[in-house]
Amino acid sequence: MKLLHFADLHLDTLFGWATRPQARARRHALRATLQRICHLAVEQQVDALTCGGDLYEQERFTPDTAEFLRTTFAEIAPLPVYLAPGNHDWFGPKSLYRQVAWSPNVHIFDTDELQPITLADGLTLWGAAHGAPANTRGFLDGFRVDRGGVHLGLFHGSAQGDLAIQHTDKVPHAPFRADQIRRSGLHHALLGHFHHPVDAPDHTYPGNPDPLTFGESWPGEAVLVTIAGDGAITRQRLPTATSTVADIDVDITGVTHAGQARQKVLDALTDLCGYVRVTLHGALGPDVDLRAADIDAARPANLEALVTRFGALTVALTDDYEQLTTEATVRGQFVRDVLADDTLDDDQRHRVLLTGLRALDGRTGELEVH
């Protein structure tokens, strides 16, 4: 028996970092990824396609998304599709899952108790759904299989205490401990919720199949799961992502004007594609008027989006203030006043001058003065 398992696609997600056209393009890319997953299921001749929740986002889905899902799964009929709603696509009165006239090959688990589906003689799939966006109890609490054979779990939940994921900041929806899987009589659990892939002995998190944010170092994948007659599991990860997202650091130490900084960024982007976030760091001259929006606007044609942020950027100190004292301007008066202030030591004086001069030039809040 072979299954293709995925989770956490998050159709219609907001993509708050992006412009409206970029966010729309990213949402279309997620749809293309689901189509790729379905094509993989057919190509691999699996016996069923399973989803561990967060297929879409309940608060943002559109009628168009509902029709897209209906037709996409209908196109692979009669291949069975088993969906276990998560905390983002929870099964409720206004759920997309209730509004669609699904093709007969689609089965949606709709209760918060694990329910059985017979996949083959001696092989049972137990699935459950979140019925609310939060506070779902652990599906394995008090659960025990009631029949013989091989048993698989399919749900959206938070493994607790696993070394591979214990540092995550994800909220523990439907929490469970790994040892509950075997104690419940399940041979393996196919899960969703954690976006970082995990291949644990008794459970699998496929990870999100297409990038959702910057900083994700793992490839987008679905998991081909083969179940032997004795319940032994083998797994093969298959690439699914239709998007490329990258994070890079660029050192702009020594630049003396904004054009030099932009050029350093462009040089670093030559061999990249897709969506790129650039983090700038280094020490630069005090006169550099550096703005993230200006660099983003210089996006080269090989990228779909460029997002610039400031990391550990510092402003180099200078002693060349005397010439400013001759100006008959607000800036000149400011410099004269600071230089005449005997309560400041040299380091404080430099910091006040640099901060004040940048403020007078309208360049506040972007660079740290060191």
Is the separation of the CB atoms in 4 and 223 below 8 Å?
A: yes
228 vs 150: CA distance, rounded Å: 9
- Give the confidence band of 321 by pLDDT, cuts at 50, 70, 90: low
- C-alpha to C-alpha distances, 370 to 111, 283, 337, 343, 363, nearest whole angstrom: 58, 9, 21, 20, 16
Residues 120 and 267 placed together within one structural domain of the fold: no
Q: Which helix (H) or strand (E) holds 65?
A: helix 63-74
* CATH code: domain of residue 13: 3.60.21.10
Q: Are residues 232 and 252 in the same domain?
A: no
**DSSP string over 80-102:** -EEE---SSS--STT-HHHHS--
Instruction: Give the residue, 90 or 311, on which the prediction is more confident.
Output: 90
287 and 324 both lie in a single domain:
no
Banded pLDDT at 166 (limits 50, 70, 90): very low
Do 207 and 278 sit in the same domain of this protein? no
Across the range 255-262, mean pLDDT stands at 94
Structural domain harbouring 282: 244-316
Residue 315: the pLDDT is 65
> Looking at the DSSP assignment, which residues form a beta bridge with residue 221?
239
- Residue type for position 202: D
Residues 330 and 306 in one domain: no
Whether residue 334 is found in the same domain as residue 281: no
Placement of tokens 């093709």 in the chain = 103
Mark whether 363 and 222 lie in a shared domain. Answer: no
Give residue 45's pLDDT: 98
Q: Is the pLDDT of residue 161 over 80?
A: no
pTM for the model: 0.84
On whether both 89 and 136 belong to a single domain, the answer is yes
% the chain with pLDDT above 70: 92
Residue 78 sits in the same domain as residue 196: yes
Residues 128 and 107 in one domain: yes
Tell me what pLDDT residue 325 has: 81
pLDDT digits (tens, 9 = 90+) for 170-198: 566 999 999 999 999 999 999 999 999 99
Q: Are residues 196 and 332 in the same domain?
A: no
Overall number of domains in the chain: 3
Are residues 88 and 102 located together in one domain of the fold?
yes
136 Cβ contact partners less than 8 Å away, ≥ 6 residues apart: 87, 112, 130, 173, 174
Asked which of 301, 316, 331 is the last residue of a domain, the reply is: 316
Residue 165 confidence (pLDDT): 47
pLDDT tens, 33-86? Answer: 999 999 999 999 999 999 999 999 999 999 999 999 999 999 999 999 999 999
Is the C-alpha dihedral spanning 229, 209, 189, 102 positive or negative?
negative
Residue range 9-38: mean pLDDT, rounded? 95
Q: CA-based angle 237:103:45, to the nearest 5?
A: 30
Separation between Cα atoms, residue 77 and residue 71, nearest integer Å: 10
Domain end (from 239, 274, 293): 239
pLDDT value at residue 361: 63
User: What Rg do the C-alpha atoms of the chain give, in angstroms?
Assistant: 27
* Domain boundary, last residue among 239, 273, 290: 239
